[in-house]
Amino acid sequence: MSNIQLITPKPWTEYELIDSGNFQKLERFGEFILSRPEPQAIWDKSLSDQDWERRAHAIFRRDRQSPERGDWQTTPDMRDPWYVTFRQAGLNLKFKLALTTFKHVGLFPEQADNWAYIHEKVNGLKAHVARPKVLNLFAYTGGASLAARQAGADVTHVDAVKPVISWARENMDHSELDNIRWVVEDAVKFVRREVRRGNQYNGIILDPPAYGRGPDGEKWVLEEQLNDLLKSCADLLDRSDFFFIINLYSLGFSSLILDNLMQPLFGRVPNPEWGELAVADQANKRLPLGVFYRFASV
């Protein structure tokens, strides 16, 4: 039977969620504090608006003409880009952060527990497989890829956006790693081709967005295409020595949906875990930031 969990990252020196509420979140990344929108923070802030304004080095202001884009209002001492490190669970990673027009900064701190999970599972697989093969789809700036590579896996990192691949490569260099395989391609096309070739992976990681476009204009809609993509991933996953992780960030998606998808595709998997990813602020309000499903043979 699956283990329903609420996972929050362990205390991390370089990151904290200071406050949340009124559809915003106030976070510290390294030495800088950022204020940006958060659609799930529907409760009241614990701190005053004046306190938020006083503390923040950068505040994201939405463009009235776009629901997604915007600009950052920054203080004179705000650096862009800047860097943070992650040292936990045997990992020693370094990430470049930057203020983007989509409010993101290149890092999803709620994924820290998954990085530790990946590192642990790759090390466990090495008892049976000399160099476990790991596939990271919709891989963004590469936190999961770095965790797998630092544990000794052969990593294939797939993302449709070339500048994001370049960003991930910088993170690899800053983390003093090498030899990650970079693939700029639509994830669905890549997976189908790998199935036709008969390739398999010991670890598969998916972080699909709600909507997206491939490098050749391929359209991705989560609700319409996730089931078919998972069917292909089931064909790609080595069934002797393996782990699997999927995260979803789309509003309204329940971890029950993932459980219902997984059962017919992967059968009775060992050590299943599923639930929500969250981060607690200083007032212990727990901000939900996605749902996950993961399992492993080790």
When pLDDT is cut at 50, 70 and 90, the band that residue 2 belongs to is: low
Of 50, 74, 45, nearest in space to 61 by CA: 74
Q: Where are the domains of the chain?
A: 106-296
For residue 152, the model assigns a pLDDT of 98
Q: What is the CATH number of domain 106-296?
A: 3.40.50.150
Q: pLDDT by residue (tens digit) across 142-174?
A: 999 999 999 999 999 999 999 999 999 999 999
Q: pLDDT by residue (tens digit) across 31-43?
A: 999 999 999 999 9
What 3-state class would DSSP assign to 268? coil
Q: pLDDT by residue (tens digit) across 183-218?
A: 999 999 999 999 999 999 999 999 999 888 888 888
Q: Which residue is associated with the tokens 């880009």?
A: 81
Q: Report how far residue 126's alpha carbon sits from residue 120's, in angstroms, rounded to the nearest whole number.
A: 10
**Enclosing H/E stretch for 52:** helix 49-55
For residue 277, the model assigns a pLDDT of 96
- Is the preceding omega at residue 215 within 30 degrees of 0, hence cis? no
**Contact status, residue 45 vs residue 22, Cβ threshold 8 Å:** yes
